Amino acid sequence: MEYVLQTRALGKRYGSLCALKDLTMHVPKGAIYGFVGKNGAGKTTLIRVVCGLQKPSAGEYTLYGERNSSRGIHKARRRVGAVVETPSVYLDMTAKDNLKEQYRILGLPSFEDIPQLLDLVGLSDTGKKKAKHFSLGMRQRLGIAMALAGDPDLLVLDEPANGLDPQGIVEIRELLLKLNRERQITVLISSHILDELSRLATHYGFIDRGHMVREISAEELESVCRKCTCVEVTDIKALARVLDAMGMEYQILSGQTADIYAKVPITKLALALWEEGCELVSIQEREESLESYYINLVGGGRR
């Protein structure tokens, strides 16, 4: 698999505070990588380090194959657009002037694309209104437009749903999906809104206290989280025979319990097991969401 961003044992300290510790992550090309963690887990610190705003205290990262210590890292960064924490926009300028400024920074020869970019983020009708008079959601969109200037290959967004109304969240989600599908832009996105993230992400990284707890693809997560019926029986081999005969997908968990990934006709199952000389001890439906998966992974309580 080709990775656009990889970190290896990355660490970042602020004095005695350890913000990142031994963090290893892999962002595959073309993915929407959801970066999940509590407040203070180190999400923004990692994004700052990757964007070159801060230097790591330990470890290293590679961006498009360029190590952070190599001279080529600056060239690799030109393929990145980012919104780190708050949108980086000049409050005393209009949306159009802000984009012109960003185009100059990037060295783009023409401002022709600016109307399309403003249209893409829904700010085409802001006219001469200065960014300081924008709502938080509008600033967030302008920040995304600035990040999209110059057609980046990797878009890094830190909590992009902050300050957006429900309609705005849906629009940003659709925009990101469109950019990912149509322009093959890889997206690294940190968010607290797990339900929202679960509608977008193709890969997840769970971070806790500066350390990557687990990286998992959306497919793997789905299989872990899928709805299932957990049954407890006296003879697990009899259960396997019955489920095979009924053509059901299942996973044996122990000598007495198994998860069945299908709607279970309870009476039919109980009768079939009885005929095999096996007793059905208990049965319960179980469904795990991204949220419960995350809570189980990092622990629910605040530490």
Partner 1 sequence: MSRLLAADFSRLWKSRDFWTCAAFMASFGAFMVLMGYYFMCRTGGKYSADLVCFGYAKLMGIAAAFFISLFWGTEYSDGTIRNKLVAGHERYKVYLSGLVVNIAGVMMINAIYVAAVFLLGVPLLGLPGTSFLPFAAQNGLLTVVMDLSFAACFTMHSMLRQNKASVTAVSIIAALILLLASGYIRSSLHEPKVYEPYAYTTDKGYVITREEEPNPNYLEEGSVKRRVFEFLDELLPSGQALKIEEDEVTKEQAGRLVLYSCLVVLVSAGGGIAGFQRKDIK
What residue ranges bind partner 1 (CB under 8 A)?
A: 14, 48, 51-55, 73-78, 80-82, 84-93, 97, 100-102, 104-107, 146, 150
Asked if 210 and 23 count as a contact pair (C-beta separation under 8 A), the reply is yes
Q: How far is the CB of 112 from partner 1 (least distance, A)?
A: 17
Q: How far is the CB of 131 from partner 1 (least distance, A)?
A: 9
Asked if 79 and 35 count as a contact pair (C-beta separation under 8 A), the reply is no
The token pair at 115 is: 């109307």
**Helix or strand run (H / E) with residue 21:** strand 17-28
The token pair at 33 is: 């990588």
What amino acid occupies position 175?
A: L
Instruction: Please list, in sequence order, all residues whose beta carbon lies within 8 angstroms of the beta carbon of residue 254, skipping any fewer than 6 positions away.
Output: 236
Q: How far is the CB of 192 from partner 1 (least distance, A)?
A: 19
- The nearer residue to partner 1, 60 or 97, going by C-beta atoms, is 97
What amino acid occupies position 80?
A: V
Q: DSSP letter at 129?
A: -
What does R_g of the chain's alpha carbons equal in angstroms? 24
Burial status of residue 209 (CB atoms within 10 A of its CB: 0-12, 13-18, 19 or more): middle
Q: How far is the CB of 202 from partner 1 (least distance, A)?
A: 23
Q: How far is the CB of 75 from partner 1 (least distance, A)?
A: 6
Asked if 63 and 76 count as a contact pair (C-beta separation under 8 A), the reply is yes
Nearest CA among 31, 79, 47 for reference residue 187: 31
Q: How far is the CB of 33 from partner 1 (least distance, A)?
A: 17
- The nearer residue to partner 1, 74 or 133, going by C-beta atoms, is 74
- The nearer residue to partner 1, 109 or 301, going by C-beta atoms, is 109
**How many CB atoms are closer than 10 A to CB 165?**
12
- The nearer residue to partner 1, 150 or 288, going by C-beta atoms, is 150
Give how far Cα 80 sits from Cα of 45, 49, 192, 200, Å: 17, 13, 23, 20
**How many CB atoms are closer than 10 A to CB 45?**
22
- The nearer residue to partner 1, 14 or 274, going by C-beta atoms, is 14
- Give the span between the Cα atoms of 285 and 164, in whole angstroms: 36
Nearest CA among 296, 288, 286 for reference residue 224: 288
- The nearer residue to partner 1, 83 or 273, going by C-beta atoms, is 83
Q: How far is the CB of 135 from partner 1 (least distance, A)?
A: 17
- The nearer residue to partner 1, 79 or 214, going by C-beta atoms, is 79
Q: How far is the CB of 137 from partner 1 (least distance, A)?
A: 17
- The nearer residue to partner 1, 150 or 163, going by C-beta atoms, is 150
- Give the span between the Cα atoms of 214 and 228, in whole angstroms: 23
